[in-house]
Amino acid sequence: MANTVLFVPNNININGLVDKGEMSIKPFKKDKLLYLLNVITEIPANNKDIELKNGFIPINATILKNILGSNYLDYIKLLLDEGIIECDNQYVVDEKSKGYRFTEQYQTSVIPTEITDFTLQKKLIANRKNKIIKRGNRNIGKTREIKTIGKKQLFAIPPYDKAYTKGVYKWYEDGGLEIDDKLANEYAEKVFKYKKADKSRWDTDHKTGRVKHPFNQNANMVRNIYRVKNGDLDPHTDDNVHRLHSVLTYSKKEIRHALSYKGESLVAIDLSNSQPYLSTILFNPEFWENKNPNLSISNLYLPITTIFPTTHKHKYFIKFLKSTSTPLLSSIPADLKEFIDAVSSGRFYEKFQKNILEKTGDKLDIQKELKPLMFMVLFTDNRFLGQKEAGYKRLFKETYPTVYNCFKLIKSAQKENLPILLQQIESYIFLKRIGLRIAKEHPNVPFWTIHDSVVTTLTHVDLVEKVAIEELEKCIGLKPSMKREYWGKGVLLREILRMNYGNMAEMLNYTGLGWYLGKIM
């Protein structure tokens, strides 16, 4: 069995802790102590949806006991007494476990540390998908097998992902994806110190409104850099929206610029305003009546009865769609035509941004404010419309009444229907249509997916983009707008310069040196 790698803050005196642990804990094992230090950062790294209040990480005591043994509280007490961690002391039966976080002194960069205890490693493998370290939306009810390639111990592809084994997953496992880990780790360290020095620089979760602690973000980056370096990309689909998740989807966008494939540069081909674009298929009655040969509701995993619990509601919805005509016909409501034209051109966000400015005077940044805001506009409960905070949602309704009413009917049973539906449409097209077509027709073309984008090498970017456009247009019935993002180390170098020297990075861009760095790297 290959040794398991855990991650702990770099300034903890492990040997000193071991000495004190051996005196106070009977029996004591160093690797159990390392595991407890590791799990505080692993939980938020592997579960983007977890809500953290003041940075405290909820840890399930029952599972801790199962992994560390009946004296697990002694290990916790040791770390509390030594001032390494602190506890929120908040516990609610069946709702919330006690939360732990590192004290300010130990909120530093993390480093990889191997453990060798055979029994503990077996327990970690068996519990890799349990409540304590579950991964995002992964299928929690199914066991992930572990396979060994050489000295590397990796997740095997689970049974429910077998359809992609020979196609989409091929390039995650051939060992060709590389990372400049020295540069990536330098960036991770710089951005950690840069954000920690000023709380105004901290990122905010657009769903919860909570700030993201730089310590947890750094731990996540360091883990993902290490995993890519060691070929542990862990591709898997969840059983909710059937998206493909991997270390690539977990990784911070900037870190991807340190990636290459067998020395060749990579390019991400993104679907512009993807959620609004994909939503246009929902206005086509043939999608709902299973008459569309390229994409119908029956191609997805969301039962029609979940969206419309009664036949009457389903028929009413179809009648509503037919009363507005469809995007395939020439005569449709003006607001629907305006919406379709905007998303097809790839400029929906720019147009809605302009509309907000004209109607409210608010000038919103598209990336930082408007895109996150659209989650509120599109996916909140219908009843939220009357709330004070729903001003932009009301403006969307005023601008696109036909679109709003369609979405309203889809969310009438439960608000989650619309986002689940759109993400299932996305995963179906990008995995089963684009991915499997590339795998079948061009088996030697490497590619990876990051939800609504396809990544490939510079050599094959034209071919892959052509396939993506063709499949999207077949399925949605509307030509998409795609944009390319060229990955290169120069992006990280410019970011490092910006954090070190501020406006110096702007000067580099102005003189063209920043562009040159991107090209040569």
The stretch 108-130 carries a mean pLDDT of 81
Angle at 79 between CA 74 and CA 84, to 5 degrees: 170
The stretch 244-250 carries a mean pLDDT of 89
Could you report the per-residue pLDDT of 295-309, keeping only the tens digit for each?
Answer: 999 888 888 888 998
DSSP 249-269: HHS-GGGGGGEEETTB-EEEE
The stretch 383-391 carries a mean pLDDT of 89
- Token pair 């795998």 is found at 439
pLDDT bin (cut points 50, 70, 90) of residue 207 is low
* Residues with Cβ within 8 Å of residue 431, at least 6 apart in sequence: 164, 168, 237, 242, 244, 449
Cα–Cα distances (Å) from 227 to 50, 169, 441, in that order, read 22, 16, 30
- Token pair 């496992």 is found at 173
pLDDT bin (cut points 50, 70, 90) of residue 393 is very high
User: For residues 446 and 266, is the Cβ–Cβ distance under 8 A?
Assistant: no
- Encoded tokens for 171: 């390039």
Tally: H helices and E strands in the chain: 23, 15
Residue 9 confidence (pLDDT) above 50: yes
Angle at 401 between CA 397 and CA 407, to 5 degrees: 80
The stretch 264-269 carries a mean pLDDT of 96
The stretch 145-154 carries a mean pLDDT of 49
> In this predicted structure, what is the pLDDT of residue 181?
94
> In this predicted structure, what is the pLDDT of residue 325?
63
> In this predicted structure, what is the pLDDT of residue 141?
37
Could you report the per-residue pLDDT of 436-478, keeping only the tens digit for each?
Answer: 999 999 999 999 999 999 999 999 999 999 999 999 999 999 9
Question: What is the b/e burial string over 184-212, where b = at least 16 CB atoms within 10 angstroms of the residue's CB?
Answer: bbebbbbbbebbbeeeeeeeeeeeeeeeb
Helix H or strand E encompassing 484: strand 482-486
Q: Which of 482, 484, 478, 485 is nearest to 278 (CA)?
A: 478
> In this predicted structure, what is the pLDDT of residue 516?
47
> What is the C-alpha separation between 75 and 78, in angstroms, rounded?
5
User: For residues 234 and 154, is the Cβ–Cβ distance under 8 A?
Assistant: yes
User: For residues 136 and 49, is the Cβ–Cβ distance under 8 A?
Assistant: yes
- Token pair 């947890």 is found at 216
What domains, with CATH codes, occur in the chain? 5-123 (1.10.10), 162-273+425-494 (no CATH), 276-423 (no CATH)
User: Mean pLDDT in the chain?
Assistant: 84
Could you report the per-residue pLDDT of 31-55, keeping only the tens digit for each?
Answer: 999 999 999 888 876 666 566 777 7
φ, ψ at 370 (rounded to 5°): -70, -45
Alpha carbon dihedral 98, 102, 104, 109, in 10-degree steps, equals -150
> In this predicted structure, what is the pLDDT of residue 169?
86
> In this predicted structure, what is the pLDDT of residue 67?
87
Residue, of 363 and 54, whose pLDDT is higher: 363
> In this predicted structure, what is the pLDDT of residue 306?
87
